[in-house]
Amino acid sequence: MSDHTSHKLWGGRFAVPPAAALEALNRSIGTDYRLWPFDIRLSQAWAVALWGAGVLTLEESKKIERGLAQVGQKLARAGVSLCRLLCQHASHQVL
């Protein structure tokens, strides 16, 4: 017997069910993964905007941009296998 709850990020072993916010995260994880390239670029642009507004130094902004680029590279390398896992997970969730 297949139990879709086994694909959840958290829960299953606890007496109290997870909070509604965590349930929402569990339902959206597949969509979130498909949007990561846009999220990385947007966050990099936001770092530049914060530098332009004087909130970050140029060095801080560049460091954030490089870190986000590294995250993007890791996600890209994980590629299809991670997407399949997360998208399959999302399809098992009951709305």
pLDDT tens across 36-93, in order? 899 999 999 999 999 999 999 999 999 999 999 999 988 888 776 666 655 555 454 4
CA distance to 1, 24, 72, 73, 74, per residue, from 69 (Å): 41, 27, 5, 6, 9
Judged by average pLDDT, the poorest of 5-9, 17-21, 68-72 is: 5-9
* Position 8 pLDDT exceeds 70: no
Q: What residue segments make up the domains of the chain, in order of their start?
A: 17-91
Q: Note the pLDDT of residue 64.
A: 98
pTM of the model: 0.61
